[in-house]
Amino acid sequence: MWTARSVSTAQIQLLELKEGRLCSSILSKNQQFWTGILNCFTLRAPYDRAKCQVSKVNENQSVIDTAVAISAEGTKRTSGNSPSGEYDGKQHTLEGKMKHVNLSFASCGFLGIYHLGAAAALYRHGKKLLKVVKDFAGASAGSLAATVLLAVPENIEKCQRFTYEFAEEVRKLDFGAVTPGYDFMKRLREGIESILPSNAHEIAENRLYVSVTNVRNGKNYLFSNFASREDLIKKWVDGGITNGLPILPFGRTITISPFSGRLDICPQDKGRVDLYVKFAKQDIMLSLANLVRLNQAMFPPNQEKMESLYQNGFDDAVHFLLKENWFE
């Protein structure tokens, strides 16, 4: 799963607790890096060795500094909380993979129907995986899928029907979601409120991380504390302009996106050229199919295509579960 890639700088995301909120920031390193997922965030490791400092927020909301060292020969993680003090990255057993697993759903507009298909597959055939998932993360539409899977997975089909109805309503408008006089956000909130229980914010507390971008300064934040269900919904609406795929800095993050790219669960385009672009922190493939998907994210396709996207999400998630020996 590792691919070599030369870059001028490496960006590592840190989570810091500031004024009761979990905030993200970026560190840089000037070296050649491998591209891969380690300790639940994307690290770019040099061919010899690199060291970085990350901050991990524990259950008491205090910050624990954790030193991370990686190399091409193997991976070792040193932590003050670890009994042995190190973790052998060569171990690829099911037990090792299950120690700390997270799920992250990418921002994708109306392509969120793909997420619902993936969520349905995880709920139906991935219970072995869901039992060990520690945290959920998402941005915009991805946050909705993450919350439904975490809080009320039995309502996935209800959310699917709402998405179909909402998309049909938007398709009938002259200018789609931006048609003058149409309150897109109000309609979205009404639909979400009909799906989530009143205590959804309590269920999501410290287990769901929502990516929010401050449009004034462009800074990105990850929120895991919500005052109410309405506050949780507002965080989704704020969305993830700068960070469309939150990667948590501890454990392994399983990434889900309707765009083909370097992700765990995503479409696998055939006959593709191995070129990638970073879009809202997603490494997506530079392809015609992805350009079509980008348009569909903003302007919902017809009902038949929406149903196909749902099925694609389901099938891609099943493929991942089979490959990782999590299917049941």
Kindly list the catalytic residues: 140, 238
List Cβ neighbours of 6 (8 Å cut-off, separation of 6 or more). 32, 33
Q: Give the helix/strand (H/E) hosting 104.
A: strand 101-105
For residue 140, report the phi and psi dihedrals to the nearest 5 degrees.
55, -125
What span, in angstroms and rounded, lies between the C-alpha atoms of 271 and 86? 41
What span, in angstroms and rounded, lies between the C-alpha atoms of 302 and 255? 26
What span, in angstroms and rounded, lies between the C-alpha atoms of 189 and 236? 10
Residue 199 three-state SS? coil
Residue 301 three-state SS? coil
Count the Cβ atoms, other than its own, within 10 Å of residue 194.
Answer: 11
List Cβ neighbours of 154 (8 Å cut-off, separation of 6 or more). none
Residue 307 amino acid letter:
E
What span, in angstroms and rounded, lies between the C-alpha atoms of 100 and 86? 15
What span, in angstroms and rounded, lies between the C-alpha atoms of 68 and 134? 20
Cα dihedral: 158, 160, 163, 164 (round 10)? -110
Retrieve residue 248's tokens: 């948590």
Angle at the Cα of 36 (from 120 to 213), degrees rounded to 5? 65
Count the Cβ atoms, other than its own, within 10 Å of residue 214.
Answer: 12
